[in-house]
Amino acid sequence: MKNFLSIGNKKFKSRLFMGTSRYPNHQVMLESLNAGRTEVVTVAIRRITLKKYNENIIDILKKKYFILPNTAGCYTIKEAVLTAELAREALKTNFVKLEVIGNDEDLLPDVENLITAAKELVKKKFNVLPYCNDDPIVCKKLEDVGCSAVMPLAAPIGSGMGIQNQQNIKVIVEESNVPVIVDAGVGTASDVAIAMELGCDGVLLNTSVAEAQNPKLMAKAMADAIVAGRNAFLAGRIPKRSFAKNSTTNKGRIHLIKKN
């Protein structure tokens, strides 16, 4: 297995992708990103200013991290495609985390529009990383239209509930020929470890670190969980059994001799 994560023409040593919203302030965010040992950070293009006269968050981040713009807040194909194009122009990157949301309540992907938007962006030479449902069929369709990776949710955005359907994630991993990065719903380090143990290529998270009581420490825990989970997957776990299996043989067992 490769020690790096390859997406499009990029290679990353870290398999932890981190968001940049909801932190108390920029200093806490930067300390957390550093503690998380991440290389890739996501930024919502619709929520930042790209004006040139002051140093903004993009200027700060691009000194150290690969910036993955996302289309958060887009509800239509037209909005998502336009936002991706603006990001490419401003940031000089053809990578985009594609989000096309169905509504403001559950923030779940609008699958029909997501696939169409992904297809359009692939035609426009983007490396598309779509945020999608944990549905093997949807992930395969996104792969078939040319997406560079698939990013199935673990649970609703910001819920912290962890992976709700491990079987689906496992099937997605087994059937995908592109990287699988769990996105949304992670709550703590054990959720990250489980995702990696299932064979995922990476995890993208934000709220679980940004809103933790100690974001910097939580970021470190997440980074450690990535490594532990990945190593466990590569090592190969024992099969689950419904019965006990002794770890030692009966050979050499001491037998008591009963006296009459």
CA–CA distance, 145 with 157 (Å, rounded to integer) = 25
Q: Which of 63, 97, 123, 124 is catalytic?
A: 97
Please report where in the chains the tokens 């239509």 appear, as a residue. 76
Orientation of helix 77-91 relative to helix 111-123, angle to 10°: 40
Give the CA distances from residue 238 to residues 1, 2, 232, 245, in Å, rounded to whole numbers and listed in that order: 19, 22, 10, 12
β-partners of residue 202 are 181
**What is 195-256 written as a DSSP string?**
HHHTT-SEEEESHHHHTSSSHHHHHHHHHHHHHHHHHHHHH-PPPP-SS---SS-STT---P
The 8-class DSSP code of residue 133 comes to -
Q: For residue 163, what are the CA distances in angstroms to 7, 82, 166, 187, 197?
A: 23, 32, 6, 9, 12
Nearest to 75, CA basis, from 108, 42, 44, 47: 108
Using CA atoms in the order 137, 138, 140, 145, what is the torsion angle rounded to 10 degrees? Answer: 140
- Please say if 97 is a catalytic residue: yes
Nearest to 107 by CA among 68, 151, 153, 70: 153
Place of tokens 């466990």: 232
Query: Could you give the residue numbers annotated as active site?
Result: 97
